């Protein structure tokens, strides 16, 4: 059987890269949930690597989104403010999302990179007591919202006939069954399934789709909220005060610490870069060895 790498010169003699050129120069990245800790960290990492940034979040988070934009401009190798824009929309509203993609395309170009990061943890409650309306809200934001953004982004990119890459934000909650988080765990399991099918559907047009599954990441709002709400929720698995719960969570991690925002952002940057050009449909666990 012939080895394609032995006969295809593009496989054996790749075009050398310019070491002086930022690795994501010329790329345009859309980041949802960019006003939050993880979204901001990823946006800054991508800007530092040379990508133009479209930072997106809810209109109510305008001040935090402005801070993300400012940090991206500061991190950019060119410090070119015109290469960074912000846009406000609700990920669950297809009309708003489509209009936002058009707005971004007019401002800085059609994004060829996507960090599909917007999400909602939901309430912390035993499955038998979990509020149905909150369950629906979690799935609407984390699943339907992620799909709506992915669909609009992929459709716009496909029309340009350019390749691209997306990273969907999943979670170790989808794999480990955390107590009191039935809606969040269900939503992130759905994101993993969506990632697999989207990767197959979009591969023929050169669009890669992968996922990341962080575990305990901090410092920041999500870590603080999770610790506080687990402490407040009756459970045989965690104590009832914040310090105890934090120690119990870290005790589940073989590396005995939580991961940093930068450690998540660096994986996002890798998956969106050409260094990951043969990776699609995979999920990377960012969990310090936890399962």
CATH number, domain of 170, equals 3.40.50.720
Contact indicator for 61, 146 with CB cutoff of 8 Å: no
- The 10 Å Cβ neighbour count of residue 204 is 8
Instruction: Look at residues 55, 58, 62 and name the one whose alpha carbon lies nearest to residue 76.
Output: 55
pLDDT tens digits along 71-94: 999 999 987 888 899 999 999 999
Q: Is residue 236 part of a domain?
A: no
Q: What is the pLDDT of residue 228?
A: 97
Contact indicator for 238, 245 with CB cutoff of 8 Å: yes
Residue 31's H or E segment, with its range, is strand 28-31
Query: Range of 188's domain?
Result: 24-215+260-286
Q: What is the pLDDT of residue 18?
A: 64
Q: What is the pLDDT of residue 12?
A: 39
Q: Is residue 15 part of a domain?
A: no
Q: Is residue 48 part of a domain?
A: yes
Query: Which ranges in 85-161 belong to alpha helices (H)?
Result: 94-107, 132-139, 146-160
Residues marked as catalytic: 184
Does residue 5 surpass a pLDDT of 70? Answer: no
Instruction: Look at residues 220, 290, 160 and name the one whose alpha carbon lies nearest to residue 33.
Output: 220
Bridge partners of 84, per DSSP, are 53
Q: Is residue 12 part of a domain?
A: no
Q: Is residue 1 part of a domain?
A: no
Q: Is residue 17 part of a domain?
A: no
Q: Is residue 66 part of a domain?
A: yes
Beginning with the edge strand found earlier in the chain, give each strand of the sheet holding 207-214 in spatial order.
Answer: 84-88, 52-57, 28-31, 113-116, 164-169, 207-214, 283-286
CA distance 237 to 163: 46
Contacts of 12 (CB under 8 A, 6+ apart): 5, 6
Contact indicator for 163, 112 with CB cutoff of 8 Å: yes
Bridge partners of 115, per DSSP, are 31, 167
CA distance 112 to 110: 6
* Count of structural domains, the chain: 1
Q: Is residue 254 part of a domain?
A: no
pTM passes above 0.75: yes
Contact indicator for 272, 165 with CB cutoff of 8 Å: yes
CA distance 98 to 54: 14
pLDDT tens digits along 158-176: 999 999 999 999 999 999 9
- The 10 Å Cβ neighbour count of residue 78 is 13
Q: What is the pLDDT of residue 80?
A: 80
């Amino acid at each position: 059987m012939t080895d394609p790498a032995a006969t295809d010169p593009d496989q054996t003699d790749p075009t050398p890269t310019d070491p002086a050129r930022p690795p994501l120069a010329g790329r345009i990245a859309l980041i949802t949930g960019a006003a939050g800790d993880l979204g901001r960290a990823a946006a800054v990492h991508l800007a530092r690597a040379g990508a133009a940034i479209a930072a997106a979040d809810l209109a109510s988070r305008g001040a935090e989104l402005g801070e993300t934009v400012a940090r991206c401009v500061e991190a950019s190798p060119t410090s070119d403010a015109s290469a960074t824009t912000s846009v406000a929309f609700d990920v669950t509203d297809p009309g708003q999302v489509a209009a936002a993609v058009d707005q971004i395309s007019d401002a800085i170009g059609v994004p060829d990179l996507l960090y599909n990061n917007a999400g909602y943890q939901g309430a912390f409650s035993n499955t038998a007591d979990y509020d149905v309306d909150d369950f629906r809200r979690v799935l609407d934001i984390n699943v339907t919202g992620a799909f709506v953004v992915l669909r609009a982004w992929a459709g716009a990119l496909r029309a340009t006939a350019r390749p691209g890459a997306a990273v969907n934000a999943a979670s170790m909650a989808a794999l480990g069954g955390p107590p009191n988080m039935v809606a969040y765990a269900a939503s992130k399991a759905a994101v993993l399934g969506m990632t697999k099918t989207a990767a197959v559907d979009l591969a023929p047009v050169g669009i890669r789709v992968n996922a990341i599954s962080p575990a305990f990441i901090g410092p920041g709002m999500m870590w603080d909220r999770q610790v506080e709400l687990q402490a407040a929720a009756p459970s045989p698995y965690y104590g009832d005060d914040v310090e105890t719960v934090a120690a119990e969570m870290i005790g589940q991690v073989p590396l005995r610490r939580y991961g940093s925002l930068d450690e998540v952002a660096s994986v996002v940057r890798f998956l969106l870069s050409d260094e990951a050009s043969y990776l699609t449909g995979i999920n990377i666990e960012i969990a310090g060895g936890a399962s």
